[in-house]
Structure 1
Amino acid sequence: MSTKIQLSSKKRRVVSKSGESSTSSSPRQSKRTKTSSERVVEIKPKASYDEERETETQSINDDLQLNKETCAKIQSLFKEIKTLKESGRSENAATIAEKRAAASVLFVTLKKMNRLSQLRCKKARDMTQTTKQKVDGLHLQLQNLLYEVMHLQKEIKKCLEFESSDEKIELVDVATFYREAPLDISMPSVTEKDPHKQRLARLDWELEQRKRLSEKYDASESNRDLVAREIKSKQEYLESLQPRLKSILESTVPVQEYLSMPYDQIRTQHQMARLLPRPLYILFVQSSAYSEACDGDLTVKIEGDSDTASASMSTSVAIEEDSDSDNEENLTESKRRRKTVGDKLEEKRKKVLAKHPLQVVMQLTFQGEAQLVLTFSYLIELKVVTVVTELKDSSAAKALQSDLLSPKTILNALYPGDDGAESPNPSNIFQLQRIGIDSWSTFSESVGSPYLWCQWLSGLDFLQCDDTKGMKPNTCLSSSHMEATVKALRGRIKARLALQKQVTLVGQGNIPVPSSTVKLFPSKLSSRVVSWKPITEEAMMELDFVLTHPLSENIDSSSFFYSFSCERKSAKVQGVVVLKEAYPITPPIFLIKLIWQNKTHMAASDHDILDMEAEVNLHSQELITAKTCEYLLSCQLQRLLQCLDVYLEAASAEEASRSPGTQVEFPKEKMFVRNTRYGLNKIIFQPPPSLHPLFLPTPNPPFLSEELFLF
């Protein structure tokens, strides 16, 4: 070996930058190194740049091969040292030390290989970083170029899409321009060949026209100001004139009252009529016209809050703005108190059942006896007209509190089938179900009853309209029903007042019979009415002669029921009267039971009682005329007493003929030829129930226009 270096295991050889070693090796050690038979790397002091240069000249594969060989030699030296130490010979110490020195030298070689690999790695990183910087620089240049391209494209697009202000001006067409423009502006010889100059000439002509229009506008403005000043002066004059006219009208109030010409009230009513909804407006106009032309006892007026009605006629936009502001104001209240489900439902009900602030009040006077007051209201959401009925100053009502004159039912069935229990507007069913209302009767006391004739008088006809929202009131419909409805109202109230009078007098034992019908009855009637009182339907249906009667299942619960008793000596009659709401168009029905000689005679078992009922019920039109139809109940009751006398006298005469010498309880006072009908025994002929006269149709009376209904 050329050189050997003895290194300590705890010290390292430091190589200075000048390339000289900090500790020089001794000649002896160099000699031992040279004589070594093993391959030892000769270490010469080199600077750092020499190793860098070496990394460039020496390949990586050679360094890898040298690293593997060095590791293999170090491994073999360790094995040999281990073997020598295990032999335990003292003469092997020198050999072990020599081999240890050789292994240390090989470690120095490994450290060099490590430095070379670190240098190569650092160099690769530096090259990579340099290349990355170059790539980033090129990418930045590319981004700058792309941004410049995009900017240029935007500028190009702006230039292509540029519109001059003159393009927005609507110019006259070319033919009109050359026809109307003067030659000094149009210059046809120049502009016809050059579109640009033609455009400029057309713009000049447009400018000239606008200048003329501006001068004309200024002149119109000055004229308008002059007219406005004149209007203002006249308006000031009229405003100063209004208080004078008002004072003059106030001074004429005593004259109006003396001459019964209330012009102020009429003017106020007409002003309020403008605020009415369309249906109530038609009702007011038609009823006022009918009152003025045909019925002086009919008065019509408008009542309610006109200020609220005027505010409700604001536009929908204003309503929305108000609702929004109200919601904002109520935000703090909603934070303090949250509304329950019941409160929200109650608010919905109030909104759906809300009435218009103005109402039309119609008043019918009946010869000083009574006054019928009808208050018509319009439900804004439900779009129907309702009426509240009130009967004032009725002496009959004061004498006897009866359901006959009850405002709730007095106008029921004014027309057949119209009881005001349901709304004629089909959409109301769904609107009421949404707020939890199943029947109109639950709130009819507060809003009134929606009778069908109320809709007719207001021009509403829901039966012919599929879309109630788009429905418009019809004035012709109101005028065609006005006269008939007013007459029906008068007829109903007159009939009820007369009926109440009859009920009161019959309860006192007197039967009022009109003078024109007295000749239809005998001058003397022995039977008399001993009791008369109202009765409920449940109590009536518990009576044996009603329960077994063929017509008991067809009795209408909306009717009025009265029980009465008649007697003549030992014979007693117990009966009930069913009064329909449409009285006297529908005659009262009498159901009776006769108790005589310890026997009970009822219609279900005795055809004579059935014949008496048929005589009273089916032939009632023979007892009255067109002027006395209100007293139908009294005439029927009088006919019943007549039939009872005839029956008792005929039965007594028949018994006397069968048993001569017996005492006759009821002597013959009425004139009749024979005791039995058709000359036969009374019990021989009995028509079946289906053919009984009570079930047969009855012709209409000549003075009634409505159909007769028994039950």
Structure 2
Amino acid sequence: MEVTMAEPDGVLTERNVDVAALYDMLRRCKASAEEIVAKMLAIKKEAEPKSELREVVTQILLNFVTLRQVNRSILLEEDRVKAETELAKAPVELTTLQLHNLMYEKHHYVKALKACKEFTTKYPGIELIPEEEFIREAPEDIKRSILSTDRTHDLMLKRLNYELFQRKELCKLREKLEQQKKALQETIANRKKFLSSLPSQLKALKKASLPVQHQLGVPQTKKLMQHQLAELLPPPLYVIYSQLFAQKEAFGENIELDITGNVKDAQAFARQLANKDAAMSTNLVNSKLEDDVPDDNGDGQRRSKRPKKVPSKENLDHSGIYQSHPLKVILHINNDEASDMNPAKLITLKFEFLINLNIVCVGVEDSEEVPENDILCNLFPDDTGLELPQQSAKLLIGSSLSFDESRTSRPYKWVQHLAGIDCLPEVSPLVSVSEESSGETTKHASALSSLSLYRQQNRVQTVVQRIRTRKKAQLASV
């Protein structure tokens, strides 16, 4: 730093002085002055000669001069720094003033731009089509018209006229569509009103057509109801119903079919069976997944499947073994040679399905007397209806028990075949034939041929003919 210092002879010169050195010198002069003052106090206390005191006073005066010179240098340096700061502050203030001016101008321009953008023109909110599309699609009378001498303004006016033309056309189209919509709504309301009254009209028509159906012998309503009930039948009874109905429709067999029983119970049973099948399939998948999981020993081998426990026969509820399905199939066999002496209706049979035994039973309807079953007994050889046709049913009911003889419906073998339940015999027919005599063999062979004839496609016709023949013979013998 450049400072101005006074020499001992009073001449001022400029030198480069370090401010830190000035402060260091100031501290040394202060310390020296304190030592001299302490020395002066010591001289006065000890009453030494005044000559030594004068020398000490001279030294302290020199120190005071040095302190004043250093202090003056420091003050001059501060004045110089302040002057330089003032000189540097002026450009900063000028730059700051210019910045504020620019910010003010920016704010003014932004405000003007916003006012221009928000300025409401003569055509507010109109989105015109592009100019190329206007030139391509506008009518010629609009494009040829001259509305202004300014080309740009003339084009804008033409585009506005074309926009007005389009909006008028759209208003006309909207009115036309509104009229069509109103007409369609009226049509829909009339059709809804008709559809709401249609069930009652169909019900009245159905009720009115019943006498005509009975007169013409075409009970269509009853037929539809029977077909709907047939969907709730178990598969064996459904097979019997479908075969008998096909025989009647195809060959004109003189029989009548009915399905009786509790419909609600049948629907509940069908839902229960569906849920049971779904649960069984889920359990089967889970069991397969468990079988595929390796055991905890880590040897990679699959766990062996444990055999399921079979309930003992003592735990079976024999009263529930003969539980039948809620729906039954009723077969009315009419006389094919009806007359005044011979009534049309010969016999009525009732087919029912025993759920637990999985067999079909048949009996004479509205007949509690066991001799009526003589018509069905041995309809085919060795088929009394007292022996269960399936080995599984025998195991379920017990080896010591047979089919209940007090029941009018019995599980004849021909009924099982008619229902599609074909079971293998317990003993091979060849073995049984070899054990019999020659005469009995011939008789048994004829029985087997008769049974094989029944097992052909005309099994329904064979059953109906044999039952009709037996009933006619019974009526003739009375």
TM-score range with shorter-chain normalisation? 0.3 to 0.5
What's the TM-score, normalizing by structure 2? 0.41
What's the TM-score, normalizing by structure 1? 0.28
Structure having the larger proportion of residues in helix: 2
The one of the two structures with greater contact order (alpha-carbon pairs below 8 A, sep at least 6) is 2
